[in-house]
Structure 1
Amino acid sequence: MKIVSMVCPNCGASLHVDADQNNLTCNYCGNSLYVDDEVKHIQYDNAEETGYQFEKGRQRAQAEAFGVNQQTARMNFGQPPNKRKTWLWVLGWICIFPVPLTILMVRNQKLNKSVKIGIIAAAWIIYLLIALSGGGSGDNKDTSKLNTESSTVEQTTDESAIDNFIADINKSEDINLEYVEDFIPSDEEGEHYRTEFRLYAWKNSTGKSYKYGDSTVDIIISSGGVIQRIYMDGATLEQCENMIRYASSLLDSTATESDIQEAVDYVDEYKAANGYYYGKLGLIVLGHGDRGYEFMLKHGL
């Protein structure tokens, strides 16, 4: 038996009747009704569409209700629920990154077991190395202090080396350098300033000034304690030759006696030397006998 739903045209009541029954009476108002084939046809044809629309409407209502709930969650918490724990994961990666990595590796079904173990082991090793390196900050302070003390010792040793250099020069009968003062080569206001001292190479250098007879001798020392250059102002030609003869071997141990003598002979013959090189040394002698000579002996070619 097939049942057809219809509405009483008199009172509007909902009626359920047998599809094979043509005459019926409304149970609510007593009105007699005639059910023809057209009514049955409409009921049967629309049954599937009605069911489809009903189910579609039900699903839409659920979706709308879910959307309202999502919107409410955003209003209450300021962000979607699935993102609320993002900062926790970031903090975990920064502070204890092997833990979340281990969890991800265990849950990952695409990687084989050996690869997972390798990644997890590497992560923990890196984490432990970082932790151990951070714990050694106190040791670094001690090392820094030790380096400072070592630097002081080196400076003292370098100072002794300069004193030894002057002592060796003064052993000769021809040279006697008398200490005058220390100076800073890069000081543009200083009386010992020279044009080349404006370069960065002289920034941390120090200088010591001496008297050699009537001439001035300026010795430039690098931050590492190495004698870089020897200058003489107003020197005689003999003083220039003596400085070449006695200072060359002290500045450059590779300079042979033959090299040094050739440099002395060259200056004696030409009364000048502009860019004369021997061993690892460079020599400049410019000027005139009456006015005195400008002398420069440098190391480090």
Structure 2
Amino acid sequence: MLEIPVLLVVIVIVALIFDFTNGAHDCANAIATVVSTKVLSPRTAVAMAAVLNLFGAMLGEEVAHTLGQGIVNTDMVMGSQALVLAALIGAIAWNLITWYYGLPSSSSHALIGGLMGAAITHAGFSTLNAMSIVKKILLPLVLSPLAGFAVSYACMSLLMLLFWRTNRRTVTRSFEKLQIVSSAFMATSHGLNDAQKTMGVITLALFLFHQIDTIHVPLWVKLSCALAMAMGTALGGWKIVKTMGHKIFKLEPVHGFAAETSAAVVITGASLMGAPISTTHTITACVFGVGATKRLSAVRWGIAGNLVVAWILTIPAAATMASISFLILELLGIAD
């Protein structure tokens, strides 16, 4: 009979809880604009996002591989089976803090910061896969919001050029329908990138516990992570919806369409390259890009400053919390 360590079971459960909070925290990425423009009711938008997050989560595993073996050197952390648990505790703690205050920080980078903090506490900075972190984490961290801003600015500018003679009511009615499509695209891309991050963490735990020989994602891991994220999305993150959909820029359906489509394109491209980018960073930058086409003063840049502070703090804050968690687990005799 197959024996499964109790600690591994605990880690998988905590990882799925993180995935659930990720869905609740980040569902705003997919539905904030479509709700704020009143194209869909909150209940309908959340239901759609939950289903499409589930679908998107099953479409690939490139990002999962990056999380599983691209952040920490697996050979150097083989003796620390509680490392993943400490990382998850740190990430969840930061997620809950930012969720409480309605800040659209990145669940992805909270998880990455958690892994880094726990690994460093276990055996120093040499445990980190520095080149992979630079290429797959830090560069996308900077480039994805810049790309989102640029793509959404260009998309909105093109739409303004194409429809500048069209009656405003006609444009609004047309893009009310199109925004449902763009929101669906955004929800699918969110599942494709974000759910894979938890898949990668669980896969790393399975590897550390010698349950699998290589970093590959078992089907049951894909299914459980997809379902956990979908359930979290169904719960919703209404404070963040309010921040994303109302406080940055007063959105109309055409603006929502441009922002969501641009964000989904950037996120899907990053997912195919295995880059675990922040869907929150990307869609927020796209909302700013769309708003800037109207006039710079139309965007509430003070809100942007608060969001940037939250983004900058995420990795070190989650790393610190994970480090503390690892030390506490050591005191309890759980961390080897």
Q: Using structure 2 for the length normalisation, give the TM-score.
A: 0.21
| Structure with more of its chain in strand, by fraction | 1
| Structure with more of its chain in helix, by fraction | 2
